[in-house]
Structure 1
Amino acid sequence: MSTENTSPQENHESAAPEAAVDNSLEAQLAEAQARLAEMSDAYLRAKAEVENVRRRADEDMSKARKYAVESFAEAMLPVMDSMEAAIATPDAKVETVLEGVHATRRQLASALERNKVIEINPAAGAKFDPHQHQAISMVPAEQEANTVVAVLQKGYLINDRVLRPALITVAAPK
């Protein structure tokens, strides 16, 4: 049996499913292209948002580094003002100058404390802590070994990190 003898109706019937398949494939292709365009747009927007976030974070970090000492500097300005006022009165009495020095020291201590700079000043007899103390010498003493005998220079912590260890003498073992 040859296909040349098929009727036009048979050709039309076999062409109809092919056209339906073609239409269906074209619809699927158009739908896939639309989804691709939508996803591509969403990807580009997300990528741009990530870049914006990264840029803002870099700017914030730069500003944080640049102005990190701003609060500390503001706290130090009254101390500077007090010192300049003392210098401006060269003929002041010793008692007045000493009183001003004590007031200036209190201002400085307050400014340091507000900025989380805490004094390390171990009491005599306190246990030696190598994380916060620097032993300058060992001296014979009537106290337990490896304890603080005297503080030669106070130390300081900033946010629980040693800025400068306290310089101390330590009791030698007996």
Structure 2
Amino acid sequence: MADEQNLENQNAEAAPAAEANGEALDARIQELEEQLAGAQDQVLRTAAELQNVRRRAEQDVEKAHKFALEKFSADLLAVVDSLERGLEMTNPNDEASKAVREGLELTHKLLLDTLKRHQLEQVDPHGEPFDPEHHQAMAMEESATLEPGSVVKVFQKGYLLNGRLLRPAMVVVSKAAANTPPSINEQA
């Protein structure tokens, strides 16, 4: 019976210790679960950041390939302009300069075709509405034949490289003639 009593006393003493030990284990488990959740969150954030860095690097490489010829193309535009001026200055009906003009025309066409193969597009807006994103207005001129805000003359053609403006077209924009009555929209 004394042994039973000792066993009960030991069990009574061990119960609070086991309960305290269980609470400590629960607290430790909770702490470890929080650390695990934090580590998982950090791994997800790091993976997302790595994906963003990889995507930005791919975009940078793509832009570098797309616009690597930008400076070179801009330098070639002076050659295109010179050929166009030469063509404007020669008379197509003059037999003496006919061979030179044909050579200029072929060279001009060859150069434009080469530029086009490298995604360099010509902006020649004659008669089109003025677009400040692609045109640079140099002057305004009265016009009875064109709508106000249309391109009357093109001093220098513009160019786009892969859809991005390389050089704006320098243009003269029409305005309403002084003796023209105002349109219905202007009266309202």
Alignment of 1:1-174 (within 5 A): 8=6, 11-57=9-55, 59-60=57-58, 62-64=60-62, 66-70=64-68, 98-114=101-117, 115=119, 117-123=121-127, 128-129=129-130, 131=132, 132=135, 134-139=137-142, 141-143=143-145, 146=148, 147-157=150-160, 159=163, 163-168=167-172, 170=174, 172-174=177-179
Q: How many residue pairs end up in the alignment?
A: 149
Compared with structure 1, are the counterparts of its residues 150 and 24 closer, same or farther at alpha carbon in structure 2 (3 Å cutoff)?
Answer: same
**TM-score (norm: length of structure 2):** 0.51
Q: Which amino acid is the alignment partner of residue 107 of structure 2? A: T
Q: Percent same amino acid at aligned positions?
A: 16
Compared with structure 1, are the counterparts of its residues 148 and 40 closer, same or farther at alpha carbon in structure 2 (3 Å cutoff)?
Answer: closer
Compared with structure 1, are the counterparts of its residues 96 and 27 closer, same or farther at alpha carbon in structure 2 (3 Å cutoff)?
Answer: farther
The separation in 2 between residues aligned to 1:41 and 1:66, in whole angstroms, is 37
Q: Which amino acid is the alignment partner of residue 22 of structure 1? A: A
The separation in 1 between residues aligned to 2:68 and 2:53, in whole angstroms, is 23
The separation in 1 between residues aligned to 2:151 and 2:32, in whole angstroms, is 78
Q: State whether residues 137 and 169 of structure 1, in contact with CA within 8 Å, keep that contact through their aligned partners in structure 2.
A: yes
**TM-score (norm: length of structure 1):** 0.54
Unmatched 5+ residue regions in structure 2?
A: 81-96, 180-188
Q: State whether residues 123 and 160 of structure 2, in contact with CA within 8 Å, keep that contact through their aligned partners in structure 1.
A: yes
The separation in 2 between residues aligned to 1:62 and 1:149, in whole angstroms, is 39
